[in-house]
Chains A and B, each alone.
Chain A
Amino acid sequence: DQQVKQNSPSLSVQEGRISILNCDYTNSMFDYFLWYKKYPAEGPTFLISISSIKDKNEDGRFTVFLNKSAKHLSLHIVPSQPGDSAVYFCAASDTGGFKTIFGAGTRLFVKA
């Protein structure tokens, strides 16, 4: 039973356009959500996060939106750049626990 789902295994976007990566979760106890970026042969690196008390968090070209009622979050990258090509993992945790649950990842291709 996957508690965090990324239903799109891959996404291809033209350079300069918007990339939208989606993530759904099932556990209503989750109250902290993160996005990690992973390049080949490297470990994941933290990109951006959002607490459940917010519905939007922005950091430069990256914005994460949270819709608690739909148990859905999305990562927007504007404008997309070829260097953004990587695998993006959505992750979720609850304050009282010590475990983070990761989605299966979405591979983003940004074409020049």
Chain B
Amino acid sequence: DAGITQSPRYKITETGRQVTLMCHQTWSHSYMFWYRQDLGHGLRLIYYSAAADITDKGEVPDGYVVSRSKTENFPLTLESATRSQTSVYFCASHPTGTGNNQPQHFGDGTRLSIL
């Protein structure tokens, strides 16, 4: 089915561990984004990508690493997880357009708990 899928949906890990959240979209959208959702903060941009091999930092990039070797995949890695990174993570995409005037399509999120 066409769409954007995130995996896993739920993850529990310990501080100091490395964890990777996966995001896959089937639309061949150019732009992809990673957000975290925390109470009182709404959605905050972690990293985004305008195309394969092009990534840039968002509002809260510290502690995260991304890559985009293929257009359809945009994994997010926490290299050494901390409790402050406990959150719900959303991946999103939108097609090529003028600037950012395109609604984004979101995955259903990954709920990550770091103990």
Contact = CB atoms under 8 A, between A and B. Distances in A.
A95 B100 contact: yes
B104 interface: yes
Which of A4, A51, A96, A104 has the most B CB atoms < 10 Å from its CB? Answer: A104
A97 interface: yes
Given A43-B107, A44-B90, A96 B99 contact: yes
Q: How large is the interface on A (under 10, 10 to 19, 20 to 34, 35 or more residues)?
A: 20 to 34
A100 interface: yes
A32 B107 contact: no
Interface in A46-103: 46, 49, 51, 89, 91, 93-103
B43 A102 contact: yes
Contact of B100 (A32, A41, A46): A32
Contact of B99 (A42, A98, A104): A98
Contacts, number: 66
A54 to B, nearest CB: 13
Contacts of A4: 42
Contacts of B104: 46, 100
Nearest to B91: A43
B44 interface: yes
Nearest to A9: B40
Interface in B96-115: 98-101, 103-109
Interface of A: 4, 6, 32, 34, 36, 41-46, 49, 51, 89, 91, 93-105
7 contacts: A43-B92, A46-B105, A51-B101, A93-B101, A94-B100, A95-B98, A95-B101
Interface of B: 4, 31, 33, 35, 40-45, 48, 50, 56, 58-59, 90, 92, 98-101, 103-109
Given A93-B100, A102-B44, A104-B41, 10 more contacts: A32-B100, A36-B106, A89-B42, A89-B43, A93-B99, A96-B99, A97-B99, A97-B100, A98-B99, A100-B104
